[in-house]
Structure formats: structure tokens, C-alpha cells
Homo-oligomer: A and B are copies of this chain.
Amino acid sequence: MLSEQVYAHLRDAIMRGDFAPGDALKPQDLAKDQGVSLAVVREALVRVVGEGLADRLPNRGFAVPAFSDRRWQEIAEARRTIEPVMLRMAIERGDVDWEARVRAAHHRLARTPAYAQDEGEHYSDAWAEAHRLFHRTLLEGCGNPVLLEVFDRMWTASELARRWSARRTPGRDAVGEHGRLEEAALARDADTAAEVLTRHLTLTAAVLTGRTHDEPAKET
């Protein structure tokens, strides 16, 4: 299944930030680059659009979405709305296996350097994936695949926005935040865990506000 590979490649390229927001995704070029026909590229593009990783302009082709600051804030709010509720479910229902996986995911996250020197000021791919897995593992305790799909979609959108805007944020204690999140969850302290998660998401959103690609950091 060629279209699967092309889809994965395209998705990774967009998430990695290989294209600038608003860039046209030309089927012809992509097809030539990957040595496949237009049909498979088109199929991959349609899938990508379905995931919100590209826009489709009728009769004008596909393009990398240019999220507005407003859109990003909406995504962040949606996460603040849903994820704490899922976390409470996870804390209530998670079994020993879940606890073990949370510890493992946190260990991996804590041991993965957030920045690689050769990747400039962006987070490293390895850290981003460890970060995602920690958050997802935490919520997996809720045991509901439908809710986890919702999480996946929101995470993707959220991560895309961050790739285009996030820079090193010296003042932030990400390690400590994740540590407190892990401890509260495993201590089955739902109120504290939900509060820590909400604050974590709020801080993440705050970092990005006014710092998207099309609206550089304000100096106030």
C-alpha cells in the first residue's frame, strides 16, 4: 500500500515543519519527489486534510494550514476542557498496569533531553514523542478509545501549532510540572492532578500566545 507510506511521509513532513504555513502542497511536485503517481499523492492529501493537517481549497489544491492565534487558543481551550476530565477518569479507573506504564513513560520523558544541539532552538523529535507518550499514557487509564482518539486529534493540532511557534522558554519548569502530574495521578489525587494538568496546559498556551509565525512576539 503505497499511499500509506506517502501519507506517513507527508504527515511527518508537515509535523516536522518542513513546509511553511500557507505553503501550497502541489500534487505534481510531491508525486515526482516520491516517485509515485498523482492518485496516491491525492489519496494521502485527502487523509491529511481529514486530520486537519492541511486545508483543501476547491479547485485550488491543498495547502499547509495557517492557524490563526485565535484558532490556537481554541485548541488549547478544548484541551483544557476535555483532558482534565479524562485524567479524573483515568485516576479513578487505572489499574496497576496503567500505573507501571505511567512510571515508564515519565522515566523516558525525564531522561530525554528536550533540545538537541543540532536542531537549533526547537524541541527534539525524540523529546516531542516522549512528551506525547507521557500525556497519552496518563490518559489511557480512562479506558475509552473514543476519548483517546479525541485526545490524539487535539494533540496533533496542538503540536503543529507549537512546532511553528515554540522556542526555548527559559523560565519554564517542564520537568517539575510533569513530575508533579505523575505523582498526583499515581497517588490517586484527582483534584490535584486535574489542577496541575490544567495549569500545565494553560502555561503551554500562554507561551504561544502572540508568538505564532504570522504575528511575531510582541514587545509590549
The chain A residues found within 8 Å of chain B, CB to CB, are: 1, 4, 39, 42-43, 46-47, 50-51, 58-59, 74-75, 77-78, 81-82, 85-86, 89, 144-147, 150, 153-154, 157
Q: How far is the CA of A144 from the CA of B81 in the complex (A)?
A: 10
| A157 to B82 alpha-carbon distance, docked (Å) | 19
Known A85-B82, A85-B85; contact A144-B42, beta-carbon cutoff 8 A:
no
Give complex CA distance A2, B144 in Å: 37
Which residue from B46, B59, B74, B146 sits with its C-beta under 8 Å from A145? B74
Distance in angstroms between the alpha carbons of A158 and B1 in the assembled complex: 30
CB closest chain-B residue, reference A146: B78
Shortest Cβ distance from A153 into chain B, in angstroms? 8
A-B contact pairs, 11 of them (CB 8 A): A1-B58, A4-B58, A39-B42, A43-B43, A77-B147, A78-B146, A81-B85, A81-B144, A82-B85, A146-B157, A150-B153
Q: Beyond the given A74-B144, A74-B145, A82-B82, please list 18 additional residue pairs across the A-B interface where CB-CB is below 8 A.
A: A39-B39, A42-B43, A43-B43, A46-B50, A47-B50, A50-B50, A75-B146, A77-B144, A78-B146, A81-B85, A81-B89, A81-B144, A82-B85, A82-B150, A85-B85, A146-B157, A150-B150, A150-B153
* Most chain B beta-carbon neighbours within 10 Å: one of A47, A51, A147: A147
State in angstroms the CA–CA spacing of A39 and B46 once bound together: 12
Q: Return chain B residues, CB-CB under 8 Å to A74.
A: 144-146
Bound-state CA distance A154–B74 (Å) is 19
Task: Considering the complex, give the chain B residue whose CB is closest to the CB of A75.
Answer: B146
Separation of A42 and B43 alpha carbons in the complex (Å):
8
B-side contacts of A39, CB under 8 Å: 39, 42
